[in-house]
């Protein structure tokens, strides 16, 4: 843990408020926004309406509830400010965008989008809401930068439930991969610096989502099930094509118990891709259980990508789990009591901003000098890697492919956790073995 002095803590929070303050228009909602963020960052055990009101000095949670449900402000604009904030402090051209979902357990049937559905958080079917999220993971840290509430078809077709939960009339049914694709398009349109996209099999199996990534000139390492077809057969059947010497023991990053070591192999796959890009199949074998495999569809630069880099990128998927755990445990991502569409997006956005603020504190507390010349800004080009992606995107389009207060006392020190990054040994993919 790294101590952060209270003065830096307060100054950083005021910087955040300067970024988002214009989104609230009037003094009262701005004051409420500041108090809400402070409440989320406070030591309060539960970040619900009553406790956030207590932190703000209110006698009842009415003001908090009004701020989330009825006050005039757009969560989407604050989301855009959050994304720009993360990019400025954590931005890196080799960053990875991570897609995943998390469940929010609920009682009753009034919360927007709630139904009995599978929750990865619980590991079983539960009465819950599902949120789809996009995280930004770089060598400087990780943070959540976008979110979408999954609305099941039972909700989108029920006018009464939609009206009670204040679901906008423009919202129609969208699968989780479609929600993920919209978030990726927003990130790409905003100029978020990144080289890769990763996601689990919910997202890896979706062809349209993979096309979105390809059309925007980024690589991907997407998990798929063993039944996923590659060419004329399931990916599991490609195991017989892997030469024994192709397996390499590599770490996908450090976990709670040390390096995540597995045996890995890669098979390039012949397909129509933009010049300079290669599709392939990455296979992970469990060391202790050699009959247990995980499969990934990949898209990577032909000449510059190594097997070790693909493995490291695959391992970045765990960073969003770290984000979920921290955001729920530290800033109350799942502590909300709102039921409406608007309330959910507002609370989640502000909780993500509070979590991102802690991620920035982690970086600055570790002594990383951030100069204005090195800070990233969205919608700006940054170096050869950006130029390479621009050329690649042009090649893709040319090839015929489709181109989105009341002051309170704070403790003198705030402790924030450190993060680590791993190096990438050079192991060229091109020389691994022949294409299947």
Using pLDDT thresholds of 50, 70 and 90, give the confidence band for residue 378. low
Closest CA to 435 of 242, 294, 248, 264: 242
pTM, two decimal places: 0.85
Using pLDDT thresholds of 50, 70 and 90, give the confidence band for residue 9. confident
Calculate mean pLDDT across residues 34-57.
92
Using pLDDT thresholds of 50, 70 and 90, give the confidence band for residue 376. low
DSSP output for 59-92? SSTHHHHHHHHTSS--HHHHHHHHHHHHHHHH--
Interval 303-355: pLDDT, tens: 889 999 999 999 999 999 999 999 999 999 999 999 999 999 999 999 999 99
pLDDT for the residue 412: 27
Percent of the chain with pLDDT over 70: 82
pLDDT for the residue 334: 96
Burial class (CB in 10 A: 0-12, 13-18, 19+), 424: middle
Using pLDDT thresholds of 50, 70 and 90, give the confidence band for residue 158. very high
The answer for residues whose C-beta is within 8 angstroms of residue 145's C-beta and 6 or more apart is: 79, 82, 83, 86, 87, 134, 135, 136, 187, 192, 352, 356
pLDDT for the residue 377: 57
**pLDDT value at 206 more than 60:** yes
pLDDT for the residue 421: 38
The answer for residues whose C-beta is within 8 angstroms of residue 59's C-beta and 6 or more apart is: 53
Calculate mean pLDDT across residues 126-131.
97
**pLDDT value at 159 more than 50:** yes
Calculate mean pLDDT across residues 81-109.
97
Exposure string for 3-18, b = 16+ CB within 10 A, e = fewer = ebeeeebeebbeebbe
Cα 55–58–61 angle (5° rounding)? Answer: 90
Using pLDDT thresholds of 50, 70 and 90, give the confidence band for residue 256. confident
């Amino acid at each position: 843990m790294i101590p952060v002095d209270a003065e830096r803590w307060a100054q950083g929070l005021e910087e955040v408020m300067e970024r988002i303050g214009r989104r609230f228009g009037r003094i009262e909602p701005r004051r409420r926004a500041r108090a809400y963020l402070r409440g989320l960052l406070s030591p309060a055990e539960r970040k619900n309406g009553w406790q956030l009101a207590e932190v703000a000095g209110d006698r009842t949670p009415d003001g908090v509830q009004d701020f989330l449900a009825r006050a005039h402000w757009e969560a989407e604009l604050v989301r855009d400010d959050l994304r720009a904030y993360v990019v400025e402090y954590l931005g890196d051209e080799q960053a990875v965008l991570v897609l995943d979902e998390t469940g929010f357990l609920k009682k009753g049937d009034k919360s927007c989008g709630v139904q009995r559905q599978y929750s990865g958080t619980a590991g079983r079917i539960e009465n819950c809401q599902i949120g789809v999220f996009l995280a930004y993971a770089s060598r400087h840290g990780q943070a959540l930068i976008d979110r979408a509430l999954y609305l099941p078809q039972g909700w989108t077709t029920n006018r009464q439930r939609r009206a009670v939960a204040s679901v906008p009339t423009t919202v129609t049914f969208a699968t989780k991969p479609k929600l993920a694709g919209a978030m990726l398009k927003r990130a790409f349109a905003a100029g978020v610096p990144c080289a890769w996209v990763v996601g689990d099999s919910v997202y890896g199996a979706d062809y349209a989502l993979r096309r979105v990534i390809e059309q925007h000139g980024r690589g991907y390492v997407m998990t798929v099930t063993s039944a996923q077809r590659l060419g004329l057969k399931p990916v599991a059947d490609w195991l017989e094509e892997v030469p024994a010497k192709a397996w390499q023991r590599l770490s996908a990053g450090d976990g709670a118990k040390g390096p995540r070591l597995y045996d890995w192999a890669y098979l390039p796959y012949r397909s129509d891709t933009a010049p300079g890009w290669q599709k392939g199949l990455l296979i992970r074998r469990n060391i202790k259980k050699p009959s247990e495999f995980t499969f990934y569809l990949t898209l990577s630069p032909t000449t510059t990508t190594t097997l070790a880099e693909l493995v490291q990128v695959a391992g970045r998927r765990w960073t969003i789990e770290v984000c979920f755990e921290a955001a729920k445990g530290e800033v109350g991502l799942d502590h909300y009591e709102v039921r409406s569409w608007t309330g959910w997006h507002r609370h989640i956005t502000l909780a993500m901003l509070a979590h991102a603020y802690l991620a920035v504190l982690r970086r600055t507390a570790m002594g990383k000098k951030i100069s204005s010349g090195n800070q990233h800004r969205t919608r700006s080009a940054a170096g050869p890697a950006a130029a390479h992606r621009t050329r690649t995107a042009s090649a893709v389009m040319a090839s015929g492919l489709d181109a989105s207060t009341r002051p309170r006392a704070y403790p003198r020190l705030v402790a924030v956790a450190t993060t680590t990054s791993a190096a990438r040994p050079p192991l060229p993919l091109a020389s691994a073995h022949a294409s299947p």
